[in-house]
C-alpha cells in the first residue's frame, strides 16, 4: 500500500512539474559555434538584468553559504555582491569596462585592478582562467571555435561532446541536442588536466534568454554553487546602484 502511494505521489509530482526548457531558435544543423554565438548575443541584447541567488562554497575548510546579488547593465557594468548570515556584507565586485573593483570587510578593504580575473583570484582564491566574469556566474558559455582536429563525440543519441579552441586554452562542452542547451563545460590545461569545470542545470527562459537556474563551478578542491531564485530584465537600473556602498575614496590600485 505504501509503495503504491509513493508511486502515485511521484506521478502527481511529475505531472505538475513544468516541462523542461527547450531552445526553439537553434537546431543541430546550424552547428555548435552558432549555438554559442546565439546565447552570448542574446545576453548582449539585454539592456539590464538583476538576479538573486543562494550561494554555497565548499572546500577543505568547510562550507559557507549566503546570498548573491547580481546587477548587469549594457554595455560595461556588472556588479556581484555576496552577503552572509543575517545579510551581512562580505564583498562586492564591480566590473566596469576592463577594470575590476573589489570591496568588502571579507577581503580586507577596497582594491582595483585589471578585469582579467587576477585581482579576484588573489583576493578570493577563485581563478576563472580568464573567463568573462558575467558569463561565468550567469552560466553563459563563451563563443569559441570548434576544434576540427577533434571529432565531435556522441556518448548518447541526444548528447554531443564538443572540443573548442579558444586562444591558448582548450574547452570541452556537453550539449543536450534535444533541448539545444549546454549542460557542462570544462577548461583544460596543456596536459589535459581540468583547470575549471562548470555544470549548468535547471534552465529557464527569461525573456529571450536561456539561463541555468543552477551554476556549479568546480576547481582544485573548491566548489561554488549558485542557485538562482529570480531574475528581472530591463527595469531601467540607474548607474548609481552599481557603485552603492563601494568605498571608492579608499581604493588601492593593484597592477
Interior/surface letters 126-138, b for 16+ CB within 10 angstroms, e for the rest: bbbebbbbbbbbb
Question: DSSP label at 249?
Answer: G
* pLDDT above 90: percentage of residues in the chain: 68
Tell which residue, 213, 178, 176, 170, has the closest CA to residue 194: 170
Give per-residue pLDDT as tens, 166-218.
Answer: 877 899 999 999 999 999 999 998 888 899 999 999 999 999 999 999 999 99
* Beta-carbon contacts of residue 223 (< 8 Å; ≥ 6 apart): 56, 57, 58, 59, 216, 217
Confidence of residue 27 (pLDDT cuts 50, 70, 90): very high
Q: What is the pLDDT of residue 221?
A: 86
**Average per-residue pLDDT in the chain?**
89
Domains of the chain by range and CATH?
23-230 (2.50.20.10)
Rg over CA atoms, the chain = 20
Classify 118 in phi/psi space as left (phi over 0), alpha (psi -120 to 50) or beta.
Answer: alpha
Contact 71, 77 (CB under 8 A): yes
Where is pLDDT greater, at 94 or 169?
94
Average pLDDT of the residues in 34-50: 97
Cα–Cα–Cα angle for 201, 86, 62, nearest 5°? 55
Confidence of residue 12 (pLDDT cuts 50, 70, 90): very low
Confidence of residue 13 (pLDDT cuts 50, 70, 90): very low
Phi, psi torsion values for 38, nearest 5 degrees? -65, -45
Amino acid at each position: 500500500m505504501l509503495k503504491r502511494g509513493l508511486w502515485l505521489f511521484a506521478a502527481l509530482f511529475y505531472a505538475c512539474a513544468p516541462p523542461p526548457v527547450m531552445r526553439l531558435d537553434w537546431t543541430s544543423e546550424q552547428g555548435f559555434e552558432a549555438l554559442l554565438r546565439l546565447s552570448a548575443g542574446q545576453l548582449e541584447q539585454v539592456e539590464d538584468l538583476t538576479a538573486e541567488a543562494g550561494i554555497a562554497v565548499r572546500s577543505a575548510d568547510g562550507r559557507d553559504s549566503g546570498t548573491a546579488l547580481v546587477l548587469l547593465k549594457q554595455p560595461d557594468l556588472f556588479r556581484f555582491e555576496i552577503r552572509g548570515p543575517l545579510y551581512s556584507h562580505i564583498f562586492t565586485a564591480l566590473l566596469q569596462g576592463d577594470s575590476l573593483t573589489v570591496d568588502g570587510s571579507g577581503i580586507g578593504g577596497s582594491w582595483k585592478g585589471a578585469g582579467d580575473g587576477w585581482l579576484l583570484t588573489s583576493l578570493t582564491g577563485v581563478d576563472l582562467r580568464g573567463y568573462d566574469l558575467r558569463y561565468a556566474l550567469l552560466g553563459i558559455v563563451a563563443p569559441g571555435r570548434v576544434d576540427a582536429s577533434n571529432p565531435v563525440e556522441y556518448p548518447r543519441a541526444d548528447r554531443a561532446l564538443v572540443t573548442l579552441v579558444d586562444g591558448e586554452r582548450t574547452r570541452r562542452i556537453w550539449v543536450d541536442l534535444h533541448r539545444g542547451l549546454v549542460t557542462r563545460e570544462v577548461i583544460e590545461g596543456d596536459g589535459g588536466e581540468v583547470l575549471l569545470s562548470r555544470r549548468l542545470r535547471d534552465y529557464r527562459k527569461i525573456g529571450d534568454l536561456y539561463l541555468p537556474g543552477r551554476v556549479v563551478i568546480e576547481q582544485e578542491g573548491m566548489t561554488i554553487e549558485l542557485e538562482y531564485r529570480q531574475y528581472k530584465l530591463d527595469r531601467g537600473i540607474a548607474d548609481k546602484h552599481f557603485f552603492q556602498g563601494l568605498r571608492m575614496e579608499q581604493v588601492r590600485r593593484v597592477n
